[in-house]
Amino acid sequence: QVQLVESGGGLVQAGGSLRLSCAASGGTFSSYRMGWFRQAPGKEREFVASISWSDESTYYADHGKGRFTISRDNAKNTVYLQMNSLKPEDTAVYYCAVRIGNANEYKYWGQGTQVTVSS
């Protein structure tokens, strides 16, 4: 089964940067799309970015365009989310997830990593 472990979260001042990592194991990654989501206290989970494991096609939510970059390292089975120019409203738990093949839903989820942006 697919297992996902996020890391790299922490406390950063507004305007700073963080790089989140998602280490994946237990699956065949060629047909995967990897996604990053976030959930702030009292709010619904929202999409942040995604990348295809095979062709590197990417999608970004409007809130992260120009500031966030998703990438992958096939050799390490790891997906990254580089976050620059962070804002207090970026504060949330960030989750890595996997959508397999042509499925509509992200089936596998990590435990999340906390990102806190101070003013």
pLDDT in tens, 17-53: 999 999 999 877 778 899 999 999 999 999 999 999 8
Alpha carbons 33 and 91: distance in angstroms, whole number = 24
Other beta carbons within 10 Å of 2:
17
Question: What pLDDT is attached to residue 106?
Answer: 94
**pLDDT at position 65:** 92
| Tens of pLDDT, residues 80-99 | 999 999 999 999 999 999 99
Size of the chain, expressed as the number of residues it contains: 119
C-alpha–C-alpha distance, residues 108 and 34, integer Å: 10
Residue 112, pLDDT above cutoff 90: yes
User: In angstroms, rounded to a whole number, what is the distance separating the alpha carbons of residues 35 and 105?
Assistant: 11
